[in-house]
């Protein structure tokens, strides 16, 4: 991990086309501006983690649904 100190209005460049600018520092908060191409997604980490958990939860089958499927598959054709 690279750690860099910056003051207000100073920036860093990532690659050839992403610029991170320190916009404001107030107490324990820092506002940053991100200048990047539109095709590069930018999302806060906590939202990204929540999205990943939600996707995982939506794909994972519920025990009740599995039990119902199991019973349906065990039934004989004329029942």
> pTM score > 0.75 for this model?
no
Q: Residue 22: its pLDDT value, please?
A: 97
CA dihedral 9, 13, 17, 18 (to 10 degrees): -70
Q: Residue 67: its pLDDT value, please?
A: 79
Q: Which residues of the chain have pLDDT under 70?
A: 56-57, 59-61, 76-79
Q: Residue 36: its pLDDT value, please?
A: 97
CA distance 16 to 76: 65
Residues in Cβ contact with 55 at an 8 Å cutoff, skipping those fewer than 6 apart: none
Q: Residue 78: its pLDDT value, please?
A: 63
Check: CB of residue 22 under 8 Å from CB of residue 32.
Answer: yes
Q: Residue 52: its pLDDT value, please?
A: 72
């Amino acid at each position: 991990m690279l750690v860099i100190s910056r003051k207000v209005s100073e920036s860093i460049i990532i690659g050839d086309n992403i610029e991170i600018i320190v916009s404001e520092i107030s107490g324990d908060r820092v506002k940053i501006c991100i200048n990047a191409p539109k095709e590069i997604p930018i999302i806060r980490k906590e939202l990204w983690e929540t999205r990943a958990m939600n996707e995982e939860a939506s794909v994972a089958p519920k025990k009740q649904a599995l039990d119902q499927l199991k019973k349906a598959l065990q039934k004989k054709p004329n029942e």
